[in-house]
Amino acid sequence: MTEKKKTLSRRRFIQGVSAAGVASLLPCRFLIPRSAVAAEGLSENEYEVFRNACPRNCYDTCSIKSYVKDGVLQFIEGAQESTFTHGGLCVKGYAYTRRPYSPDRIKYPMVQDGRRSGKWRRVSWDEAMDMIARKIIKLKEEDGSLLGLGLTKYSGNFGITNYGVEGMMSSLGYTTRFVGTPCWPAGIDAQNFDMGNMWCNDPEDMVKAKYLIIWGANPAWCSVHSMKYIMEAKRRGAKVVVIDPVFTQTAAKSDVYWQPQTSSDGALALGMAKHILDMGLVDREFVNQHSIGFDEFVAYLNANVTIEWASGQSGIPVQDIKEVAEEFASADPATIWIGYGLQRHTNGGATVRSIDALVAMTGNVGKEGGGARYGHLQTWGFNYNAFIQKQPEGSMGFVGAAAKGEFHLAKDQETSYSDRTVNINKTAQEILDTKDPAIRMLWVSCKNPFGQDFDRPKLQKAFDTLEMVVSVEQFFTETVANSDIVLPVTTLFEEWSVNASYWHYWLSINEQAIKPLHEAKSNLEIAALLSKKMNELSPGSCTLPTEIDTKEWTEKEFNQGLYDLFGINDWTDLRNGPVKAKLKSSAAWHDMKFGTPSGKYEFRSELCQEHGHDALPEFKEGRKAYDKFRLLTPHTKFGIHSQFVNLDWMKEYNKEPYLYMNPKAAAEKGIDDLDMVRVFNKVGEQHVRVKLTDNVAADCLLMYEAWFGKGTDFNVQNLVDDESSDMGAFKAGAPGVAIHDQFANVEKV
Ligand SMILES: Nc1nc2c(c(=O)[nH]1)N[C@H]1C(S)=C(S)[C@@H](COP(=O)(O)OP(=O)(O)OC[C@H]3O[C@@H](n4cnc5c(=O)[nH]c(N)nc54)[C@H](O)[C@@H]3O)O[C@H]1N2
Ligand SMILES: Nc1nc2c(c(=O)[nH]1)N[C@H]1C(S)=C(S)[C@@H](COP(=O)(O)OP(=O)(O)OC[C@H]3O[C@@H](n4cnc5c(=O)[nH]c(N)nc54)[C@H](O)[C@@H]3O)O[C@H]1N2
Ligand SMILES: [Mo]
């Protein structure tokens, strides 16, 4: 990129920051989306304009408009067509113009001579594929199956064509898959037990809410575009309550802020439910017509719950609980945003069920402006063509139910073979424990286990047992450092895909805006290359085509159902801008036809009981403290997991990591502001600088998860173990993980 172009995009970036920062917090009536090009007095004709979508694992899944000149990405902006993205991006989004051109990018396939040695040498794609394919063939010969080959993939890129990574694995045979999600599965199961699916109202209808409780979510950082609806609801007179052990930027925008004991929210919700019951504020019509099990729930509340008990558990005063409960039950409509942070606990699923119950008993389920908002996958009706691939003939696999330890090969039962599944939230333990055959080779894609998985010290030990680790990456993460081979992957601007959101109802195409830089290839192209090499070395060993056009494969993800839902004739219509689903109503469950066995809202769920939990949304005790302070490691403002913070352009916003600590607790430990400390627990330790703040309670330590780039050792996973949450296995295949049920101590160094 020339100097001149660099300056231009840098300038845009800085302007974008201030505009977006302010715009995302303004009520929508003040937001007039205006093209950045027009605003700058430039002509769109000077640029080639492309449609893109942010593929990160984020509520907002922003629709992007990209401007390219001479084959170089000049600047980007939020698409004006989407009322959700509304012409603006978040700060990290505006830094995207740097990402393809970052000097830190992985540029070529490389091989490391000795893990963690840093002795990388460049190899050709052909050499890299040759090494990988020969290893795969060797595994098959030695083990009689490919179960020794593991895939761990999660949310680095949610573009639909990237499910071709799973497709690639299937095209090789039956392998070992790390399944589940660290993100939200306890809440998904909870909503499935209560309502028969996870389905949330259109977030844009939050403007209609008269009362909003934001419970264990931090949209001011994690869903910036949602804030304009919350602020507009407030402008129209709604009251906003935020419940979070941390005084977040979202809390700063609220009318009422509660700082409960972490993991006590179930008690709080049940206390509110009891008071609503006592005050006669139950919506009898909803309960009688559309639910089952309410009488039993009432009996449970009467026998076990008092507001004093809820107050004792949570630390929220009795009077406050009463007041908010009454206001919530009296407002029409009233809604609760149930955050993902809230359910990352050993009692997270039970907590979500008790909050759902609160929304249901007040008649706010199925109502515009109401709802127990968690997430949805209503707009994800893709073909999953890239995902679904056929195993080569004669593939050996796992037999019968995927229960561990029951693996045996049965040559005459080919049709019953399957992949072997292991829990993604226990990566380290699963690698160590899985036998017959052991996981010998690991393919890592769209995933940074050393940054995002749990118990990093144990993970190091586990990786050391692996014979070959292949990482498909853009940057030299800690996972790459623990790999033998790294393959350079494209950024979103260099490939075709399509993106939907798990929160809003917009659909965006992602066009290839620039040619892949250096030797980067998309996940799909890498899959095709592997297929070519496999078939060269062992004909018939991989069913995937050996040439893949990512544009064609993007097209293959569409179907008439999607076209009808979005009111378009063809996928190419998306090149004119994102489109929104044609919703009959903005309310989930508007027809009151629930997906539960009874077809009604189930206060009492036998299905839930069958899965080993209480049938009623009963209180479940949290995890017992195993060290002095509660340790929280939630999501950061200017990064998403291990992405963005490492970019040089973002350094201004993320100078260094901190431990946030209450001044009272720090004083007891003789710790001053900006001291270096050692945080330690049974998992490991981390050295970090302290920032004193009243935003966290005195019994709490707070560090935001993030990867600060190569050469830094900050990693919260040195202190987070892999304890499971209660729910998640029903819908995600493995339980969630109790990320926020961690404890640690601290000392000055
Ligand atoms: N302590 C703690 N741990 C957590 C959490 C927490 O709150 N606290 N949050 C959890 C949650 S909610 C989540 S969702 C997970 C997220 O965990 P991950 O899904 O692992 O998250 P990312 O860091 O976003 O992405 C992983 C990698 O994908 C790479 N990548 C980006 N695009 C592509 C691509 O197109 N192809 C390939 N092959 N790679 C690509 C990125 O460079 C990045 O290094 O972390 C979980 N871990
Ligand atoms: N900027 C930015 N945006 C993101 C992400 C990111 O990393 N950065 N990640 C994306 C992803 S993958 C996800 S999953 C979402 C996450 O979105 P959120 O769920 O909004 O974010 P988290 O930070 O995971 O957790 C939200 C809050 O839960 C609180 N919490 C933890 N335990 C409890 C509890 O016991 N009770 C209560 N009441 N609150 C509790 C935390 O203090 C935190 O403030 O955001 C997405 N958007
Ligand atoms: Mo997540």
For residue 316, give the CATH number of its domain: 3.40.228.10
pLDDT of 123-136, one tens digit each? 999 999 999 999 99
For residue 715, give the CATH number of its domain: 2.40.40.20
Which of 374, 409, 429 is the C-terminal boundary of a domain?
374
What's the whole-number mean pLDDT along residues 671-679?
A: 98
Separation of CA 184 and ligand 3 centre (Å):
7
Among protein residues, the one with the nearest Cα to ligand 2's atom 11 is 58
651 burial level (CB within 10 Å; 0-12, 13-18, 19+)? middle
**In which domain, by residue range, is 85 found?**
3-98
Whether 720 is in the pocket of ligand 1, judged by its Cβ within 6 Å, is yes
Separation of CA 91 and ligand 1 centre (Å):
18
Rounded Cα distance, 300 and 284, in Å: 18
344, 409: one domain: no
The pairing of strands 417-418 and 398-399 is antiparallel
Whether 455 is in the pocket of ligand 1, judged by its Cβ within 6 Å, is no
Confidence (pLDDT) at 33? 59
- For residue 35, is it within any domain? yes
350, 459: one domain: no
- For residue 676, is it within any domain? yes
Among protein residues, the one with the nearest Cα to ligand 2's atom 18 is 217
Query: Among 336, 330, 337, 339, which residue's Cα sits nearest to residue 362?
Result: 330
149, 243: one domain: no
660 forms beta bridges with 691, 702
Separation of CA 59 and ligand 3 centre (Å):
9
201, 131: one domain: no
Cα–Cα distances in angstroms (integers) from residue 126 to residues 168, 392, 468, 516, in the given order: 17, 22, 17, 18
- For residue 267, is it within any domain? yes
What's the whole-number mean pLDDT along residues 62-66?
A: 98
Which of 569, 592, 612 is the C-terminal boundary of a domain?
569
Which of 569, 586, 608 is the C-terminal boundary of a domain?
569
Residues written for the chain: 749
Domain count, the chain: 4
Percent of the chain having pLDDT more than 90? 91
> What is the band of 34 on the pLDDT scale with cuts at 50, 70, 90?
low
Rounded Cα distance, 601 and 608, in Å: 13
123, 200: one domain: no
Separation of CA 156 and ligand 1 centre (Å):
5
- For residue 605, is it within any domain? no
389, 326: one domain: no
> What is the band of 403 on the pLDDT scale with cuts at 50, 70, 90?
very low
- Is this structure's pTM higher than 0.85? yes
Confidence (pLDDT) at 416? 72
Q: Which ligand is nearest to the CA of 251?
A: 2
Per-position b or e across 283-293, b if 16+ CB within 10 A of its CB: beebbeebbbb
| Contacts for 47 with CB less than 8 Å, ≥ 6 apart | 37, 67, 68, 69, 74
Whether 61 is in the pocket of ligand 2, judged by its Cβ within 6 Å, is no
74, 121: one domain: no
- For residue 688, is it within any domain? yes
Rounded Cα distance, 635 and 705, in Å: 6
Separation of CA 56 and ligand 3 centre (Å):
10
174, 115: one domain: yes
Query: Among 636, 660, 652, 642, which residue's Cα sits nearest to residue 708?
Result: 642
Per-position b or e across 32-62, b if 16+ CB within 10 A of its CB: ebebbbeeeeeeeeebbbbbbbbbbbbbbbb
249 burial level (CB within 10 Å; 0-12, 13-18, 19+)? middle
Among protein residues, the one with the nearest Cα to ligand 1's atom 19 is 155
- The helix (run of H) or strand (run of E) holding residue 143 is helix 125-143
392, 435: one domain: yes
7, 137: one domain: no
Q: Please answer whether residues 688 and 694 qualify as being in contact, where contact means their C-beta atoms are separated by less than 8 angstroms.
A: no
- For residue 623, is it within any domain? no
Rounded Cα distance, 380 and 507, in Å: 9
- Ligand 2 nearest-atom number relative to CA 215: 38
- For residue 594, is it within any domain? no
Whether 499 is in the pocket of ligand 1, judged by its Cβ within 6 Å, is no
- For residue 586, is it within any domain? no
Whether 740 is in the pocket of ligand 2, judged by its Cβ within 6 Å, is yes
Separation of CA 715 and ligand 3 centre (Å):
17
* Among 259, 261, 262, 340, residue to substitute to test ligand 2 (most atoms within 8 Å of Cβ): 340
pLDDT of 254-301, one tens digit each? 999 999 999 999 999 999 999 999 999 999 999 999 999 999 999 999
> What is the band of 400 on the pLDDT scale with cuts at 50, 70, 90?
low
For residue 126, give the CATH number of its domain: 3.40.50.740
Whether 531 is in the pocket of ligand 1, judged by its Cβ within 6 Å, is no
* Token duo for residue 465: 């047992």
pLDDT of 459-504, one tens digit each? 999 999 999 999 999 999 999 999 999 999 999 999 999 999 999 9
- Ligand 2 nearest-atom number relative to CA 706: 7
pLDDT of 539-594, one tens digit each? 999 999 999 999 999 999 999 999 999 999 999 999 999 999 999 999 999 999 99
Task: Give the residue ranges of DSSP H helices in 223-380.
Answer: 227-235, 249-252, 265-278, 284-290, 294-304, 307-314, 318-330, 348-361
92, 119: one domain: no
28 burial level (CB within 10 Å; 0-12, 13-18, 19+)? middle
268, 162: one domain: no
